[in-house]
């Protein structure tokens, strides 16, 4: 719409009207606003049980010492079923060596090994799989609410949708950093097909998008998953949502980001003190 109005600089100028607010209905500014909004997380029934969500964390030995402690300080406690997959078995975490070497590029080989382990070596009664990076910050608490809106008996592939070559017959895919959510049925259909990695270090999320596209299984986009950090998005954009995930630890305090943006409730206690971080600082 903005490009259409702009018309390469020849279109009409936009008129900012501060009374059209992006503030929450409970904001102190709301009395002066012609418009307000209310945040809510989609909830279509009872939240999915903790035991119905299996979480797979992709890591490697060089990040065991800095990234994994962040997971354990933040969202690990929300997950009833969680395993860490690495290129080295470390019993102190513990991590599981899948026998797939770590690569500097994509992690297609590791991700497909995780999918096979989920399908063949976990309880068939566990309907949901979440695959995240070791520097993904995620609220499993909120994800369980969101998953109440999806049928695990259908092939579901959920997350933040990106696109590759969409104007020339390409495909959509779920970007891995924000977290990829699979129903067990989706994993079954994928592994029953012939679609696999063209190389061990291929980009896993793009290969998965290509595979599901070929199977006729649609990608389900949710804007609540985020490939980047909170400060990488416009403040007004984030103010309209209750996020499920963020990604990357670059130049931030990831523990602080988690308790500011993703902790289950605003009264979460950390070391006996109420968390009171200011989102504007992040």
What tokens does 186 get? 């989706």
* Least trusted range by pLDDT, from 24-38, 108-122, 189-203: 24-38
pLDDT at 275: 42
Last residue of a domain, one of 193, 221, 249: 221
Same domain, 33 and 128: no
Instruction: Quote the CA–CA distance of 282 and 254 in Å, as a whole number.
Output: 10
Residue 277: is its pLDDT beyond 50?
A: no
Residue 281 has pLDDT above 70, yes or no: no
143-170: pLDDT as tens digits: 999 999 999 999 999 999 999 998 888 9
> pLDDT tens digits, residue range 133-148?
999 999 999 999 999 9
Cα dihedral 115→120→126→131 (10° resolution): -20
Place of tokens 């026998």: 99
Per-residue confidence (pLDDT) for residue 130, from 0 to 100: 98
Per residue in 42-100, pLDDT (tens digit) is 889 999 999 999 999 999 999 999 999 999 999 999 999 999 999 999 999 999 999 99
Contact by Cβ (8 Å): 219, 161: yes
pLDDT at 268 over 60: no
Query: What residues make up the domain containing 19?
Result: 1-37
Whether 64 and 132 share a structural domain? yes
pLDDT score, position 164: 94
Asked if residue 67 and residue 136 are part of one domain, the reply reads: yes
> What are 87's two structure tokens?
């290129």
How far is 216 from 205, CA to CA, in rounded Å? Answer: 16
Average pLDDT over residues 10-33: 84
The per-residue pLDDT of the chain, averaged, comes to 91
What pLDDT shows up at residue 265? 65
Q: Are residues 110 and 181 in the same domain?
A: yes
- Beta carbons of 107 and 204 less than 8 angstroms apart: yes
Name the domain count of the chain.
Answer: 2
> Is the pLDDT score of 269 beyond 50?
no
pLDDT band at residue 279 under the 50/70/90 scheme = low
Whether 10 is in a domain gets the answer yes
Packing angle of the helix pair 184-192, 108-121 (nearest 10 deg): 110
Rounded average pLDDT over 228-254: 94
Output the domain CATH number for residue 81: 3.90.550.50
- Band the pLDDT of 174: cuts 50, 70, 90: very high
Provide CB contacts within 8 A for 40, sequence distance 6+.
242
The verdict on 28 and 76 lying in the same domain is no
Q: What is the pTM of this model?
A: 0.86
Domain match, 95 and 126 both: yes
pLDDT tens digits, 185-216: 999 999 999 999 999 999 999 999 999 999 99
The pLDDT tens digits for 89-100 are 999 999 999 999
Average pLDDT over residues 105-121: 95
What's the confidence (pLDDT) of residue 271?
35
Helix 204-215 vs helix 184-192: crossing angle, to nearest 10: 80
- Residue 85 shares a structural domain with residue 15: no
| C-alpha to C-alpha distance for 142 and 42, rounded to whole angstroms | 9
23 versus 140: the higher-pLDDT residue is 140
């Amino acid at each position: 719409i903005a490009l259409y109005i702009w018309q390469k600089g020849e279109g009409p100028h936009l008129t900012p009207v501060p009374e059209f607010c992006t503030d929450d209905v409970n904001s102190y500014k709301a009395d002066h606003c012609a418009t307000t909004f209310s945040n809510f997380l989609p909830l279509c029934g009872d939240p999915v049980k903790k035991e119905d969500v299996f979480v797979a964390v992709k890591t490697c030995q060089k990040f065991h010492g800095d990234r994994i402690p962040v997971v354990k300080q933040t969202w690990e406690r929300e997950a009833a079923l969680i395993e860490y997959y690495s290129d080295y078995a470390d019993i102190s975490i513990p991590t599981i060596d899948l026998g797939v070497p770590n690569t500097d590029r994509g992690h297609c080989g590791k991700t497909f090994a995780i999918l096979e382990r989920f399908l063949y070596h976990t309880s068939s009664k566990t309907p949901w799989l979440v695959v995240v990076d070791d520097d993904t910050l995620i609220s499993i608490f909120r994800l369980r609410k969101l998953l109440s809106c999806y049928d695990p008996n259908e092939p579901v592939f959920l997350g933040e949708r990106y696109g590759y070559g969409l104007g020339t017959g390409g495909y959509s895919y779920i970007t891995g950093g924000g977290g990829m959510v699979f129903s067990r049925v989706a994993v079954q259909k994928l592994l029953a097909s012939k679609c696999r990695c063209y190389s061990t270090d291929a980009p896993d999320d793009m290969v998965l998008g290509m595979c599901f596209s070929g199977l006729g299984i649609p990608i389900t986009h949710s804007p609540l998953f985020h490939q980047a950090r909170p400060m990488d998005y416009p403040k007004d954009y984030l103010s309209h949502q209750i996020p499920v995930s963020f990604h990357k630890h670059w130049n931030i305090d990831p523990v602080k980001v988690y308790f500011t943006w993703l902790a289950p409730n605003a009264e979460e206690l950390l070391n006996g003190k109420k968390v009171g971080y200011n989102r504007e600082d992040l």
